[in-house]
Amino acid sequence: MTAELTFVRKTGPAIAEVFDDLARLRIAVFRDYPYLYEGSEEYEKGYLQTYLQSEQSFLFAVYDGYAMVGATTCIPLKDETAEIRKPFEEAGFDVNTICYFGESILLPAYRGMGLGHRFFDEREAHARSLSTMESCCFCSVDRGEHHPLKPAEYRSNDAFWLKRGYRKEPTLQSTMEWPDLGEPVPSPKTMIFWTKPLNS
């Protein structure tokens, strides 16, 4: 770890400039519980295209030297994929007024330095800069209480998210697919959304 971290902001298609760094970081961090993601560059290319195609998507990244060690993204919900928009559309929300927060990922050695809060600050600031945004949301995977690969020392981020002013919305759920560790093909996962008004 170097003495000084550097920060990078990218919007829209410019996110492609750090695409490879972001893909590698996602694959590394999401291998851990609760995502257990058997990452591949092919999957990453498909996933990240959504962010490159939106003029208002946003990425904030942390570098230690030449290595990306943390990153977070957000995008107007209207520009997200159908499975992300669906629970909000079915519940009668106006997706034009909601900013969706994507990943918030950080290598273990850089945790506990306040970067998790910085990630939310940066995304919320970007959302407020978009004149139509009234609220923000993100989702997290629901692995249940007794998953066989859940580490004994695992602590969820629920308390942190609640402290940031987010509320868990069990009625807003979606299904995403990715291959778990050791799986040859993607399998469905239940995702539960959290929401927060931007004026709070």
Residues in the chain where the model's pLDDT stays below 50: none
CB-based contact 79:56 (threshold 8 Å) = yes
Q: What pLDDT, on a 0 to 100 scale, did the predictor assign at position 2?
A: 60
| Paired sense of beta strands 6-11 and 167-178, if any | unpaired
Distance CA 27, CA 30 (A): 6
10 has which bridge partners?
59
Q: Which domains can be identified in the chain, with CATH numbers? A: 6-197 (3.40.630.30)
Burial 135-149 (b: 16+ CB within 10 A, else e): bbbbbbbebeeeeee
Structure tokens of 135?
A: 């609220």
The DSSP result for 111-178, as a single string, is: TTSSHHHHHHHHHHHHHHHSTT--EEEEEEE---S--TT--TT---SHHHHHHTT-EEEEEEEEEEEE
Distance CA 33, CA 35 (A): 5
Give me the chain's average pLDDT, please. 94
pLDDT in tens, 148-163: 999 999 989 999 999 9
The C-alpha R_g of the chain, in whole angstroms, comes to 16
Is the peptide bond prior to 34 cis by the omega test (within 30 degrees of 0)? yes
Q: What pLDDT, on a 0 to 100 scale, did the predictor assign at position 200?
A: 65
